[in-house]
Structure formats: structure tokens, C-alpha cells
Structure 1
Amino acid sequence: MRKDIMHPMLNIAIRIVRTVGVSILQAYDSQSFTQNYQNNNSDSVTHIVIQSEKIMIKMIKKFYPNHKTILVLDKKKKIENNKVYWIINPISGQKNFVKKIPLFCTSINILVNKKIEISVIYDPLHNELFTAVRGQGSKLNGFRTRCIQPKSINNTIFTINNHDIFNLNKNKLYHKLINLLYIDGITFRCTGSLTLNLAYISVGRIDGLIYCHIPFFKLMTGKLNIIESGGLLNHISHNKNENINLNNNLHIFIGSSKLMQDLLKKIKTI
């Protein structure tokens, strides 16, 4: 798709996430929402997500009626060639959202011919807009960003999905790698939002990411930000099919080229 077509799509995507961000913040600040959650009423969270989805889909269809929409958790959706898909995620970090932890965001990724061409991630609480267009770099609030290029893997900060680290029988490689990196002085973080993790790596707030058994579709919101900021994404998968498969479970390693070289060397020693 021509680059001159990308900018209007980017502008519409930004307009959509900002619109949804306003409604999300209204719910975040609502006392009734907090009370409903404390009373174990999960329907209140579901209602906010569904309403946000409806707003996003309605706005997409208004400007691009022939484009397809996919919810980020829709594993059954098949991606076809020669079509444009908008992958939407109203709230990444839902548990943070309901517990008033200020780490959540909304995102849109636009796929053209099975390639992510535009990525928009919006943190409404901090008014931070992370964008990326294929071949045109990544930005934070309009300013170009680059991932960190540390000289060594020592004393860096990595983000992990800690719910898998304790399953030793299932994730022996993952557990051994985390222990090995901890010895080297690496600090680990778990923010509760994969999308924000990827955005933070693209602007240099986090050095790298190590996730175990993560479905490919979850990486689609933020992958382009990593690539356009100069980062690399490596994975270990038993599936040799190179086509996009939303259900592929992967071991993911993300960071600068130097970090990935050091990390892969350590993996080979395990």
C-alpha cells in the first residue's frame, strides 16, 4: 500500500484511540466502577471493554467501511491476503485498570497483506501516544524514538511474564535462563501489560523482554514499534510455518541487536 495512504489511516487510528481513551478514563475515575469491582461484579469491566470495542468498530467502519476488524483476543479469526485488518485492543492491562494501577493502554494495529503497517498505542492516563509506520520509524508524542543499545547485557532491565516462571515442569528452559540472567545482575519487571512493555522498549525505558509460551496474536500490538525503533524480535517455536498464525505459542526475546547476541549465547549454554 502506498505511503500517502498510510497517513490518513494513522490519523484516524490516533483519533479513535484518543476517543476511547476519554471513555476509559471516565470509568477509571468513577467511584461506582470501583464499588462494583470491590463487590466482585466483573460485569462492570466487561461492559467497559465491550462499549470501547463498539466505539472503535463504529469509527473504523465510518471511515473505512470495507476494512475488517479483529479483536486482539479473537484467536479464531483468519487473516487473508489483499485485505486490510484493524486489530483493536480497548484495554491492555485490564487487571491493572480495575485495581487502579496506572499501567494500561488501548491500541490499534493495521495489517495490509498480512503485514503490520501501522501501530498506535495510547496510554490515556499519562497522555502518551506511541506510533509506528513501517519504514518511517517509531515515535512518542511526535518525537522519534530508539530502543536502548547497551554495551553489555549486565545490569539491564528485562520484562517477563511471571505467571509462567513458577511452572518448573512446563518451562525448564525459561526458568534456567531467568536464573542465569539474575546472576549477571539483570533486573526483572512485570508491568501487567504486554503492549506497554513493547512500547517502553521502543522508547528505551526497558532494555528487553523475555516471554514464555506467548501466542503470536498478542505480539501484534507493539511489534512494529520495536522494529521501527531499531529493536529485534527473536522466537523459538516448533511451528515452521512462516505465515501468520494467531495461535502459535512462542518463546519471545526482544531487545537491541547487542542484547540479542548476548542473550542467544547464554541460551546455547543451557
Structure 2
Amino acid sequence: MLDFAVQTAREAGHILAERFGRVTEVSHKGEINLVTEADLASERFIIERIKSYYPRHAILAEESGASVERGSDYVWIVDPLDGTTNYAHGYPVFAVSIALEYRGEIVLGVVYDPMRDELFAAERGAGATLNGRRVRVSDVEDLSKAMLCTGFPYDVRERGELIGHFRNFIMTAQAVRRDGSAALDLAYVACGRFDGFWEEGLNPWDVAAGVLLVEEAGGRVTDYAGHPFSSYYAPVLASNGLIHEAMMRVLAPT
């Protein structure tokens, strides 16, 4: 099934790439939450392909919601375009994210960046890869030497504490980036480009594949307090494991 997910993500990514820079239809799901015709086209393709190959599997997709198949142990968790705001503005940082959950556990995940033709893939117990080559998290041990990434939920304007976390990490880490695609941020932690990531207000389709990538690349994923992470509950803290405790201290409520 990993090969199926890889091929599906690549083809959906090609749909996005073909339309990139030519977006003509943009609608709002909220005050600042966008959806484009590319999101919808990519999702239609992915869902139709899953239904063709695995008609008894359930699907949880960003734009369509949940399609529950009674008695199914499998759930495909799909983000057809992670980084929609970037995409709508012509900023080339976005990805397709596809994960498969079996009886409540994520067993495979794929994140595809069509702009760089980078395919991140992981299967539970088999490690993580980038374009077929094994990847590992970084070996940075000191938060002051770490490059971190984060994102903000759509209600950030009403959440002053989120700006506080950002400010605190700017003061303690070497660098902090905010690129607008949680799936890619997690993939970059998995391959060592980033040393840590934190965010809240995310949905399962934003993180399911990326979290497995980090874990299979030797990293650690929890909530802010160090408890086991679930894709269905925010927030998420992912790191190379070596700076995890230090990041938790910064995020600790005061």
C-alpha cells in the first residue's frame, strides 16, 4: 500500500503543479482559511483512486470530511494541498499529504512536494526515506544551535500565548522559520533540515503522515507536556529527540 500512496501523491502533486500560478477560483472556509479549485481537483483525484483500489476503506479528507465504511479497520487521512494560502499567493511551499491509519495507528505516510520533486515516505517499523534514500533526524543537542519551525492556527489573532511561544523560541533558538505547511515542516524535521517543530490548532490531515516520518527517522513526537501524541488532538511537538526536553521547557505554561 505504500507504493500506492506514493504514486497517488505524485499524481495529485502533478495536478497542483500544473495549476500553480494560474489560480482563478479562491473561496473562504473562514475569515482567512482558503480553498482553491486545485485543492478540490487534487482531493477528487485522490478519493477516486482510493475508492477504486480500496473500496472498503474509510477516508478522512480535508475538504470532503469523513467517509466512513462500516467495519473498516483502515482510514486514509488526506490533505490534497497542505499550504493552500501559500499556493493561492504563488509562494512555492506546499505539499500533498497522505497517511493510512490501521486500527487507530498510523502505519504509512507520504508527503510530496511537487515544486522540488521531493517525496518523503515512511512505513511503520521500516524507516523514513526521501526520494528512496533513508533519512534521519539531526544530531543537534543544544537548543541555542537549533533551527526550528512552527505555524499559527487561523485564530492566532485571538491567541496571544502563541505569539509568546514564538517570541520565546526566537530568544532561545538559533533560528525560527514559519513556512505555512505543517506537512513539509515535519518532513524537514525527519530529514534533519529542521531540528524541531511545534504548533497547535492542526487537524489530522495536516500531521498524520509527517508525524510518522519523524518517528521513523528517529525523532520524538509528543504534545507540549510530553504525553503521547494523537493526530486527533492538538498540540504537536516534534523534534530530533535531543532538544525535546528543552523545547518542552520553553512551551511550559507559566
- Residue 62 of structure 2 aligns with an amino acid whose one-letter code is V
Instruction: Tell me the CA shift for residue 49 of structure 1.
Output: 1.9
Alignment gaps of 5+ in structure 1: 1-8
Q: Secondary structure at the match of 1:117?
A: strand
Q: Does 1:13 align with 2:5?
A: yes
Aligned partner of 1:183 in structure 2 is 171
Q: Deviations over 1:94-125 (max 9, x none)?
A: 11112111101112101111110010111111
Q: Deviations over 1:48-84 (max 9, x none)?
A: 2222212111211222121111103666677988611
Equivalent of 1:256 in 224, 232, 240: 240
Q: Secondary structure at the match of 2:120?
A: strand
The 2-side partners of 1:51 and 1:99 are apart by 18
Q: How does 1:1-270 map to 2 (within 5 A)?
A: 9-28=1-20, 33-34=22-23, 36=24, 41-42=26-27, 46-72=36-62, 83-162=73-152, 167=157, 170-172=159-161, 174-216=162-204, 218-236=206-224, 246=232, 248=233, 250-267=234-251, 270=254
- Residue 182 of structure 2 aligns with an amino acid whose one-letter code is L
User: Are the counterparts in 2 of residues 157 and 207 from structure 1 also a CA contact under 8 Å?
Assistant: yes
Over the residues paired in the alignment, what is the CA RMSD in angstroms?
Answer: 3.0
Q: Deviations over 1:123-142 (max 9, x none)?
A: 11111000000000000000
The 1-side partners of 2:197 and 2:230 are apart by 21
Q: Secondary structure at the match of 1:70?
A: strand
Q: Deviations over 1:165-184 (max 9, x none)?
A: 965x7443x44443333223
Stretch of structure 1 that moved more, 132-141 or 153-162:
153-162
Aligned residues: 248
The 1-side partners of 2:76 and 2:203 are apart by 18
Q: Secondary structure at the match of 2:86?
A: helix
Q: Secondary structure at the match of 1:146?
A: coil
The 1-side partners of 2:71 and 2:215 are apart by 22
The 1-side partners of 2:133 and 2:249 are apart by 34
The 1-side partners of 2:218 and 2:124 are apart by 12
User: Are the counterparts in 1 of residues 77 and 205 from structure 2 also a CA contact under 8 Å?
Assistant: no
The 2-side partners of 1:45 and 1:73 are apart by 8
Alignment gaps of 5+ in structure 2: 29-33
TM norm structure 1: 0.80
The 1:235–1:216 alpha-carbon spacing in structure 2 relative to 1, beyond 3 Å, is: farther
The 2-side partners of 1:61 and 1:251 are apart by 31
The 1-side partners of 2:220 and 2:67 are apart by 27
Larger radius of gyration between Structure 1 and Structure 2: 1
The 1-side partners of 2:242 and 2:196 are apart by 11
- Residue 231 of structure 1 aligns with an amino acid whose one-letter code is G
TM norm structure 2: 0.84
